[in-house]
């Protein structure tokens, strides 16, 4: 995953790459402030949001190991 120091941004990156966070994991977390109605609270139009959108591709869309490493 790309570097970040923000927990919320890291969660968004993971969700973008791996898919939705399972609801049982959301309910067990101590960081409920990051979620609302089963989804991450995140501004996709912020500079961080645009960065994630442009740089984090879903794992299923990456065609080769080489592309994943680069």
In a domain, 21, yes or no: yes
Number of domains in the chain: 1
Q: What is the pLDDT confidence band of residue 21, given thresholds at 50, 70 and 90?
A: very high
In a domain, 2, yes or no: no
Enclosing domain of residue 34: 7-61
Tens digits of per-residue pLDDT, 36-70? 988 899 999 998 889 888 888 888 877 665 555 55
In a domain, 68, yes or no: no
In a domain, 39, yes or no: yes
In a domain, 66, yes or no: no
* 49 within 8 A of 25, measured Cβ to Cβ: no
* 68 within 8 A of 25, measured Cβ to Cβ: no
Tens digits of per-residue pLDDT, 23-34? 999 989 888 899
Q: What is the pLDDT confidence band of residue 35, given thresholds at 50, 70 and 90?
A: very high
Q: Phi and psi dihedrals of 53, rounded to 5?
A: -60, -40
Q: How far apart are CA 42 and CA 70, in angstroms?
A: 27
Tell me 35's DSSP state: E
């Amino acid at each position: 995953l790309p570097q970040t120091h923000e927990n919320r941004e890291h969660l968004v990156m993971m969700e973008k790459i791996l898919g939705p966070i399972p609801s049982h994991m959301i309910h067990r977390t101590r960081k409920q402030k990051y979620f609302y109605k089963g989804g991450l609270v995140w501004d996709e139009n912020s500079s961080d949001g645009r960065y994630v959108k442009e740089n984090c591709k879903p794992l299923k869309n990456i065609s080769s190991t080489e592309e994943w490493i680069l």
